[in-house]
Amino acid sequence: MLYVGNDVVDLNDEEVLNKHCDARFIRRVFDPNEQRMISRSGNSCRTLWMIWASKETAYKILSKIAWRGPFSPRLLQVGSIICLKKGFFRTKVKCQERQVDVHIDCQQDRIHAAGRAGVRGTSVENNECFAMAAERQIPSGGIEDLKKSFTDDELKSIQSQESAWVRHFAKKDLTKQLKIPYAELSIIRRREDFKWGPPQVYRNNAVLAIDISLSHHGKWIAWAWSGPTIKKRHEAGC
């Protein structure tokens, strides 16, 4: 199984605009090397949230493989951020003996990080799997009509309007790429040990061999998923 994670940050959200000036937050969340990357950057705000999104992405993956316990940002160490081309970067996030490759799409109004990792001893270049990631702004308007397309189990794991929209568009993506009717798909999180487990993709009542990650922040929603190869050209390197 190829596991994926993703995280989106709305750079126009009021909560993110001045966090790079919050010394207490920076000391609590980032290790000394990450703090240096932020302070020496030409755009400290952007660099801070690129690092944060990379940590969130890695946590979402590792929590499905080996992580036990709450999100602890300082345990996830982000390495050098390498620019691939304008607006696109890559880095590696390490936690103890594990490592996650993360790609970052950084635009003026949002950051979207997406990563992937196999279980120990499994290459992420496995030709039997591919991974995709996408993001978009949340549509205007309510979700009353949208709710009618969700199953009862799906509705139980939808906590907000953003949560509903990201499921809707992720399912549309799955429908397009896998040729599975939208009405047969559902994305469900179940309670595990008094907390919500990761989302799973179902076709009717059967769990599919697909890993999926959902994210939303501010005006943005984003998703990433991996599954059996349909066509090699679908590979996105997320």
CATH superfamily for 2-234 is 4'-phosphopantetheinyl transferase domain (3.90.470.20)
- Which of 23, 158, 61, 45 minimizes the C-alpha distance to 108? 45
Beta 2-10 vs 77-78: how paired, if at all? unpaired
Classify 156 as helix, strand or coil: helix
Cβ atoms of residues 126 and 103 within 8 Å: no
The residue ranges of the chain whose pLDDT is under 70 are 67-69, 119-131, 229-238
Question: What pLDDT sits at residue 43?
Answer: 95
Annotated domain spans of the chain: 2-234
* The predicted structure's pLDDT at residue 130: 57
What is the pLDDT, as a whole number, of residue 203?
96
Q: Provide the pLDDT for residue 96.
A: 80
Phi-psi region of 60 (alpha: psi -120 to 50; beta: other; left: phi over 0): alpha
E strand residue ranges, 59-218? 77-78, 82-85, 88-95, 98-106, 110-118, 129-137, 185-188, 191-192, 195-196, 200-203, 206-217
Q: What are phi and psi of 136, to 5 degrees?
A: -165, 165
- Say what the pLDDT of residue 36 is: 97
Q: What is the mean pLDDT of the chain?
A: 88
CA dist 34 and 40 (Å) reads 10
pTM of the model: 0.89
